[in-house]
Amino acid sequence: MTNAYDLAYAQSLEDPAAFWGGAAKDLKWYKAWDKVLDDSRAPFYRWFPGGEVNTCYNAVDRHVEEGRGDQAAIIYDSPVTQTVRTLTYRQLQDQTARLAGALAGLGVGKGDRVIVYMPMVPEAAIAMLACARLGAVHSVVFGGFAANELATRIVDAQPKVILSATCGIEAQRVIPYKPLLDQAIELSSHKPSHTVILARPQVKAEMIAGRDIDWEEAVARAAPHDCVPVASTDPLYILYTSGTTGQPKGVVRDNGGHMVALKWSMKNVYNVSPGEVYWAASDVGWVVGHSYIVYGPLLHGCTTVLYEGKPVGTPDAGAFWRVISQHKVQTLFTAPTAFRAIKRDDPDGTLLKKYDLSHFRTLFLAGERSDPDTLQWAERHLGVPVIDHWWQTETGWAIAANCMGLHTFPVKHGSPTKAVPGWNVQVLDEAHNQCKPGQVGALVVKLPLPPGSLPTLWNADQRFLDSYLYEFPGYYKTADAGFIDDDGYVYVMSRTDDIINVAGHRLSTGAMEEVLASHPDVAECAVVGVHDTMKGQLPLGFLVLKAGVTKPEEQIVKEVVALVRERIGPVAAFKTATIVKRLPKTRSGKILRGTMQKIADSEEYKMPATIDDPAILDEIEENLSAIGYAKGRQGAAS
């Protein structure tokens, strides 16, 4: 018997024009599109060519016109500054229009680029929307990024203006932004005409006369600016993601297709309705922040939570429960690493009992693979569906998910369920042949990609082809490895470069991590492949223990080695693990497995620009040296 998901999925692949054309009618267009999909320059596909639209209008102004002006649009919750503030849709419209007026007064117009280098404050979302209002292209750079990384993005995007703040605030420290911004501009061959600086009370910035402008003063004297119609295919934003060459890749998002896909996903994937409170616990500097802190919820008429804090330490591992309870959050979307941190600090879920979560409906996890142990812990303690879903910076929204607004499938732990409508996910082997159900291969998506995904890279069409379309002609390469089972469930095991070759056997480090995470004393783990002269590679495990564990570390290592042998078999050759206080991660929560592998193999590595705490790498090196790895590593980092 068919269900709503099956019908939607079939139509999305068989008649994408009818499927996405229908979805596009839920939004307001200045001019209708000439056709839904332009495939005349394949593989450079374009959605809704000929259409004219404005993303800011659909995310803000239309809701005021349709009676939602007094509804909360943004709830700003900042435990690091002890602040909670609400902006209604009418207030958001006013502040966005005034900032757009200020930017227009600085010469910013349609097609101009504006870099947004901001902390997690409402003005960051207002900055993005103000750019969209003018038809300018924003590029959000994670606040606090190192000066040289910011400089590379300034050179590539060539912004007319940069919007920033005097500082960002972490759990235990204040990070002055202005010195980093000044240094980045000094390093850059491109100089913006102006910077607009939001003054925060924690840090006073030195302003450069003639270039730097105070945010509040600029907005106070600006006239509100109307929304500017742009072509559906015009770029809305550039979001830089790491590139293997060291030169970041500028992922481009268009206006029309992006708007249609995100609006559709809010109801059909996340099952939220206009007026409900939706919280993506991420940062505006990452794709999740773009899609599901700012654009998705606002396009759908929801209330979105903008949280300046951490899952633990601001003040404790009950932080998320407090926010859900206080603001009546129906749906939370966060990274698995956040829940691993909560589980590590409060393994029995004691703090959760202090809060009323009766209105909380669904937890969504994404960002990296959700290990079954963490997912089951969340299910057990929250008593609501916990939905793993899979997507990437490049895709902009979910490739695979349990589409809660269409049909709820039984959860299979370790799988993000099935391909979302629009995404023709397949598994190919090294010879580009279709893999059988259950056979691990490269996860790819048959072209064309659906609306909302990247149409190209900024000023780098050839790099777009080389990075994503060259290896598997006719397909988008996700660079993830996995399989699809007999029921059509997708399993994302690891990045393709995390498939290790042990004596000719291709093994998934993700499958080993799943086993390690199931040990009752393990809060978090990672497995990397290290060089071995006999077998090519051998797996090496890193374990972070739960709070309060008193068992000897040697005993825990013996137990996890035995577990892997039992569940995967001797073929895995898993014999070594080390216990560390914490794992090195990006600020978005992804574990830096590649860097750990280089340290273990005594290879030079570049300090990742996105690392949350560089000192962790010294701890990792010490641990590895103690068990015979990382020999002679001192001074090897580059």
In this predicted model, what pLDDT tens digit does every residue of 113-127 receive, in sequence order? 999 999 999 999 999
Residue 634 reports pLDDT greater than 50:
no
Residue 636 reports pLDDT greater than 60:
no
**Confidence class for position 371, pLDDT limits 50, 70, 90:** confident
Q: Which of 296, 231, 235, 229 is nearest to 269 (CA)?
A: 296
Do 546 and 343 meet the contact criterion of CB atoms below 8 Å apart? yes
State pTM to two decimals: 0.84
pLDDT on residue 247? 74
Q: Which of 156, 107, 136 is nearest to 237 (CA)?
A: 136
Q: Which two three-digit tokens encode residue 631? A: 């020999």
* Amino acid letter, residue 220: A
Q: Which of 324, 333, 242, 231 is nearest to 283 (CA)?
A: 333
Radius of gyration of the chain (CA): 24
Write the DSSP string, 233-274. Answer: TSEEEEEEE--TTSSPEEEEEESHHHHHHHHHHHHHTT---T
Do 507 and 535 meet the contact criterion of CB atoms below 8 Å apart? no
| Sign of torsion over alpha carbons 317, 322, 325, 329 | negative
The vertex-16 CA angle with 11 and 18, nearest 5°, equals 80
Q: Determine if the peptide bond prior to 448 is cis (ω within 30°).
A: yes
Q: How many CA atoms lie within 13 A of 500 on its CB side?
A: 26
- CATH no., domain 503-626: 3.30.300.30
How far is the first Cα of the chain from the last one, in angstroms, to the nearest whole number?
58
Residue 450 reports pLDDT greater than 80:
yes
pLDDT on residue 633? 52
Distance CA 219, CA 196 (A): 10
Q: Residues 522-573: pLDDT tens digits?
A: 999 999 989 887 677 889 999 999 999 999 999 999 999 999 887 776 777 8
Q: Residues 251-278: pLDDT tens digits?
A: 999 999 999 999 999 999 999 999 999 9
High-pLDDT (> 90) share of the chain, %: 75
Distance CA 89, CA 141 (A): 25
Q: Residues 195-236: pLDDT tens digits?
A: 999 999 999 999 999 999 999 999 999 999 999 999 999 999
Do 134 and 161 meet the contact criterion of CB atoms below 8 Å apart? no
Distance CA 51, CA 230 (A): 8
Q: How many CB atoms lie within 10 A of CB 208?
A: 14
Q: Residue ranges of the alpha helices (H) in 281-432?
A: 287-288, 296-299, 319-327, 336-345, 372-382
Q: Is 350 left (phi over 0), alpha (psi -120 to 50) or beta?
A: alpha
Do 387 and 365 meet the contact criterion of CB atoms below 8 Å apart? yes
Q: Residue 88: helix, strand or coil by DSSP?
A: strand
19 vs 611, more confident: 19
Q: For residue 89, report the phi and psi dihedrals to the nearest 5 degrees.
A: -60, -35
Distance CA 320, CA 272 (A): 19
Do 305 and 443 meet the contact criterion of CB atoms below 8 Å apart? no
Q: Which of 252, 254, 253 is nearest to 233 (CA)?
A: 254
Q: Is 548 left (phi over 0), alpha (psi -120 to 50) or beta?
A: left
Residue 452 reports pLDDT greater than 70:
yes
The vertex-442 CA angle with 403 and 602, nearest 5°, equals 115
Spans of all domains in the chain: 23-72+87-255, 503-626
- Mean pLDDT value of segment 166-173: 88
Q: How many CB atoms lie within 10 A of CB 59?
A: 31
The yes-or-no answer to whether 23-72+87-255 and 503-626 have a common fold is no
pLDDT on residue 468? 95
Q: Which of 214-228, 427-441, 583-597 has the lowest mean pLDDT?
A: 583-597
Q: Which two three-digit tokens encode residue 202? A: 């924690």
Distance CA 615, CA 42 (A): 46
The single-letter DSSP state of residue 572 is: G
pLDDT on residue 632? 56
Residue 489 reports pLDDT greater than 70:
yes
Do 328 and 295 meet the contact criterion of CB atoms below 8 Å apart? no
**Confidence class for position 147, pLDDT limits 50, 70, 90:** confident
Average pLDDT over the chain, rounded to an integer: 92
- Mean pLDDT value of segment 61-78: 98
Distance CA 502, CA 405 (A): 42
Within 8 A by CB and 6+ apart from 306, the residues are 74, 75, 76, 77, 120, 121, 122, 124, 125, 284, 293
Do 55 and 30 meet the contact criterion of CB atoms below 8 Å apart? no
Do 364 and 281 meet the contact criterion of CB atoms below 8 Å apart? no
599 vs 634, more confident: 599
Residue 588 reports pLDDT greater than 70:
no
- Mean pLDDT value of segment 443-462: 97
Q: Which of 98-107, 159-168, 343-352, 582-591 has the lowest mean pLDDT?
A: 582-591
* Amino acid letter, residue 362: T
Residue 635 reports pLDDT greater than 70:
no
Residue 510 reports pLDDT greater than 60:
yes
Level-2 CATH architecture, domain 23-72+87-255: 3-Layer(aba) Sandwich (3.40)
- The full 3-state SS of 190-202, as one line of letters, equals CCCCEEEEECECC
- The full 3-state SS of 496-558, as one line of letters, equals HHHEEEECCEEEEHHHHHHHHHCCCCEEEEEEEEEEECCCEEEEEEEEEECCCCCCCHHHHHH
Distance CA 597, CA 254 (A): 37
